[in-house]
Amino acid sequence: AQKVTQAQTEISVVEKEDVTLDCVYETRDTTYYLFWYKQPPSGELVFLIRRNSFDEQNEISGRYSWNFQKSTSSFNFTITASQVVDSAVYFCALTTQGGSEKLVFGKGTKLTVNP
């Protein structure tokens, strides 16, 4: 069975601070895919990134960066110099090659960035 754990329920930071959102996953499959989605107050989940299990290279996109470590089954997400517009709920998700199209989501981390 697959499982995604986001231990941080809520995080509050002041603008310009760096913040890291944790994601730990469980799967017995050797081929799997990890995702991060952002859900602003409007409700729509916005796709941020996909990572497959064979690519452990970390990725940076502007102020966003992702740290994938298979040794600890973690796929953490860091926002550098946070902004008020980053306030949202962030979800980590997992799917496996044999799991058709099923995405397993974590419970989400609510990030509030205060001015």
Partner 1 sequence: ETGVTQTPRHLVMGMTNKKSLKCEQHLGHNAMYWYKQSAKKPLELMFVYNFKEQTENNSVPSRFSPECPNSSHLFLHLHTLQPEDSALYLCASSQAGLAGNEQYFGPGTRLTVT
Q: For binding to partner 1 (CB under 8 A), which residues are involved? A: 31-33, 35, 37, 42-47, 50, 52, 91, 95-103, 105-108
Q: How far is the CB of 107 from partner 1 (least distance, A)?
A: 5
Q: Which is nearer to partner 1, 80 or 105 (CB)?
A: 105
Q: Which is nearer to partner 1, 34 or 79 (CB)?
A: 34
Q: Which is nearer to partner 1, 42 or 71 (CB)?
A: 42
Q: Which is nearer to partner 1, 39 or 80 (CB)?
A: 39
Q: How far apart are CA 100 and CA 63, in angstroms?
A: 32
Q: How far is the CB of 98 from partner 1 (least distance, A)?
A: 8
Q: How far apart are CA 26 and CA 40, in angstroms?
A: 26
Q: How far apart are CA 76 and CA 67, in angstroms?
A: 5
The owner of tokens 């994938």 is 68
Angle 62-73-58 from CA coordinates, rounded to 5°: 25
Q: How far is the CB of 84 from partner 1 (least distance, A)?
A: 21
Q: How far is the CB of 36 from partner 1 (least distance, A)?
A: 10
Query: Which residues are within 8 A (CB) of 48 and not within 5 positions of it... i.e. 6 or more apart?
Result: 35, 36, 37, 38, 64, 77
